[in-house]
Structure 1
Amino acid sequence: MHLDLLSQPAGPQVSLNTHLGPGSDKIRFIGRALGNIAAHELWHLSGSWHQHQFDEHDTLMDQGGNPRAMFAIGADGIGGTGDDTDMDFGEDHFVPNEGFTGLEDAASRTRWGYRTGQ
Structure 2
Amino acid sequence: MTHSSPAFRPAAALNWEETAPGVRRTLVAYNDDLLLVKVAFEAGAVGALHQHVHSQITYVESGEFEATVGGETRILKPGDSFYAAPNVPHGVVARQAGVLLDSFSPVREDFLPAAF
Smaller-chain TM-score range? under 0.3
Per chain length, whose mean CA-contact separation is higher, i.e. which structure has more relative contact order (CA < 8 Å, sep 6+)? 2
TM-score (norm 2): 0.20
Q: Comparing both structures, which one devotes a greater share of its residues to helix?
A: 1
TM-score (norm 1): 0.20
Larger radius of gyration: 1
